[in-house]
Structure 1
């Protein structure tokens, strides 16, 4: 009988201790949260707003850089050159004295990309409005270009659909499509060469998109690493905290 009394008493005390521990844990959590907030801790909504602001800054700067004259052509990191499977065409044609025609084609290719980049901003901004808090928290804790990666995942298809007709139109306007077809067809007539497809519009469109993301990624890295690039209070708070 005495054993049973001791057993039930121990159960009661155990349950009481458990409840007290749970209570203390809840109180401790609230205290820690309060201290964190007083120390400059950020809510999830603030993190989301900061990430969206960072993307807006990156998009504005990246799009402006890409769409200006020579934005692609004079940037060695995003300049569009002959397609990889056609680089042997370029080499051979230069050997044949057609260097001016090759240079004119490459310039026209980059002009098409610069024109297409002007269409990018509304597509990017629409993607930002769809960003969830979970997306934002993951991006903040991710790699230096996590936000750019998010944009690429959510906008590449729409960008392609928007860029393609612009690239097509500009290539036709500059006669780059004809230049390329003429160059490739000239090359294809040479003896003992591997034939190359003279259609380049898909290649040019995707390269234009890739170049734009290169510029936006650079802007994102600046915001994450350089306090001077954090041009608003929310950027300073979010990325200042992230760097601590």
Structure 2
């Protein structure tokens, strides 16, 4: 009986405007997964890592496929300059890279999209015209991709911070910050009182005469007053019904005073002798 030939992967019909590239996790897997790619052409995108005519937009990227995996897969078409993954398509300038490894951005957990930038436009054309009998392998002996509990263990081990390394980085950051502040203060002192291009002179609060410091006796008296105010406030209207009764008494006193003022005014009008009409 003749040996059965290996079945060829059928060309998958991709959505309109996209090209389907079959991939599989490893040699053991037979059912392919499809990445949908097209050339990234957006005039509003100002990200320098996405050059025109050299960037490929990738959809349906599985969670286990990292930026390193995508760079390795698409390097078969052309040398890859950079790979950027995100949860959904984004526009705008490139976000500032993190200055420390202890607070890196989290990778997307589910299916995500990617932007693959090649060194030349030939990479985009080669990816769009790709047709292979076998899917591209994500995980192989030379580059294993961790999944399952091994991946969780590696992520947990990577999340543990070395206190000595963190302290070294924090000290270096604070030293650079103190040096920057000192340089700014020295520059401000040099320009103090010097008019700018338009003839204006910057006035600061440093020239004001500082207030006289409190003596120890004055500080003790102020502290004693604060204590008396606090104690009086705590004892006054301790309960809610006391607060209500105090308000009622205050309103009653106001009404009583109002009636007394009305009687005084009526008495003054009665005693007025001059009557012009």
Question: Same fold per TM (> 0.5)?
Answer: no
Bigger helix fraction: 1
User: Greater CA radius of gyration, 1 or 2?
Assistant: 2
Q: TM-score w.r.t. structure 1 length?
A: 0.19
How does the TM-score come out when normalised to structure 2?
0.18
Q: Going by fraction, where is strand more abundant, 1 or 2?
A: 2
